Amino acid sequence: MTLEQLRIFIAVAEKQHVTQAARELNLTQSATSAAIAALETRYDVKLFDRIGRGIALTQTGRDFLVEARAVLTRARAAAQVLNDLAGLKRGSLTIAASQTVANYWLPGRIQTFHTAHPGIELRLTIANTGKVALAVHEGSADLGFVEGDVDDASLAISKIGGDSLVVVVGMKHPWVGRSRITPKDMLTTAWVLREQGSGTRSMFEAALRKYGIRFSDLRIALELPSNEAVRAALESGDCATAISDLVVAQSLAAKTLHRVKIDLPRRSFYVLRHKERYASHVEKALIKWLNI
């Protein structure tokens, strides 16, 4: 069994498709199929069921996937230790970040870090807060940056900055003529909000509870999976949203959105790392660069 075979197996298991996995790995379909067949033959097991033109993991395959991921995580950690011997002249770091942090807070900071250390490869994936925490927990990301609360005892969590949650409306909304609203006013309008699991949504729900308002009492017009989608929907309609001030700063300046004041909390951004995993020199250098 080789690390390459494990890498191929994981890709096929995640895609549930040999051709798509081969394309992602930059391998031929025949080489990908051969690697899976070699594992199954060598250990006399069935990792996938061939169902029609598709494939699905067997129970053995599902059990093996957990171990295969763990082995590759340890292999990456071992490679990172060796990279550390060269200081910051080479190395890599996988980062997962929730949308607000990834799109508005982090890019400029990691770009200046890369300029100072061009040999360091930084890989960034974007997901909601819950998925970022899961990526760090499982080891597919070295560091996570989120704007929502995370409850995971295996993760070390540190504050790194923040933003403010604000209520904004489209220019066709009746609140455009108002500078401030009351909590009861929030029950009188339609809302466009982020999906459940996002840090923005969680913060807004917490603010509502402090005002004695049940989220279920709001009139939800749309739930959308990105800040940009929420902003675009608002600019073309007459709904309200609660969103980061970083997201809507340009829209407010261009007067395509209007902010109505209501006391909402300022929120912190957090960096996540697994307590029991090795912290590389690259990881420590980036954290220091961000003044954490």
Query: Over the stretch 254-271, which tens digit does the pLDDT of each residue have?
Result: 999 999 999 988 888 999
Same domain, 131 and 212: no
Cα–Cα distances in angstroms (integers) from residue 244 to residues 19, 95, 124, 271, in the given order = 40, 21, 21, 18
Is position 57 within any domain? yes
Domain containing residue 251? 164-266
CATH number at residue 55: 1.10.10.10
Is position 11 within any domain? yes
**pLDDT at site 177:** 87
Same domain, 52 and 171: no
Collapsed DSSP state (helix, strand, coil) of residue 178: coil
Indicate if the pLDDT at residue 85 is higher than 80: no
- Which residues touch 164 (CB under 8 Å, ≥6 apart)? 244, 245, 264, 266, 267
Collapsed DSSP state (helix, strand, coil) of residue 153: coil
Mean pLDDT of 236-253: 92
Is position 79 within any domain? no
What's the pLDDT band for 203 if we cut at 50, 70, 90? confident
Q: Over the stretch 91-147, which tens digit does the pLDDT of each residue have?
A: 889 999 998 899 888 998 999 999 999 988 899 999 988 899 999 999 999 999 998
Distance CA 128, CA 278 (A): 25
Mean pLDDT of 74-95: 82
E strand segments, 7-128: 48-51, 54-57, 91-97, 120-126
Is position 60 within any domain? yes
**pLDDT at site 233:** 94
Query: For 148, phi and psi rounded to 5 degrees?
Result: -110, 165
Indicate if the pLDDT at residue 83 is higher than 80: no
Q: Over the stretch 146-187, which tens digit does the pLDDT of each residue have?
A: 987 888 999 999 988 888 999 999 999 999 988 899 999 999
Mean pLDDT of 9-21: 89
Distance CA 200, CA 19 (A): 37
Last residue of a domain, one of 47, 73, 99: 73
Token readout for 241 is 């949203």
Same domain, 155 and 232: no
Among residues 188, 202, 193, which one has the least CA distance to residue 270?
202
Place of tokens 């082995």: 71
**pLDDT at site 162:** 86
Same domain, 33 and 88: no
Same domain, 100 and 133: yes
Indicate if the pLDDT at residue 200 is higher than 80: yes
**pLDDT at site 141:** 93
Q: Over the stretch 23-61, which tens digit does the pLDDT of each residue have?
A: 888 899 899 899 899 988 998 889 998 887 788 899 998
Domain count along the chain = 3
**pLDDT at site 68:** 92
Beta bridge partners of 258: 169
Q: Quick one: DSSP state of residue 254?
A: T
Among residues 107, 94, 77, which one has the least CA distance to residue 144?
94
Distance CA 174, CA 245 (A): 21
Give the predicted TM-score (pTM) of the model: 0.62
Distance CA 189, CA 172 (A): 12
Last residue of a domain, one of 20, 43, 73: 73
Higher pLDDT, 192 or 179: 192
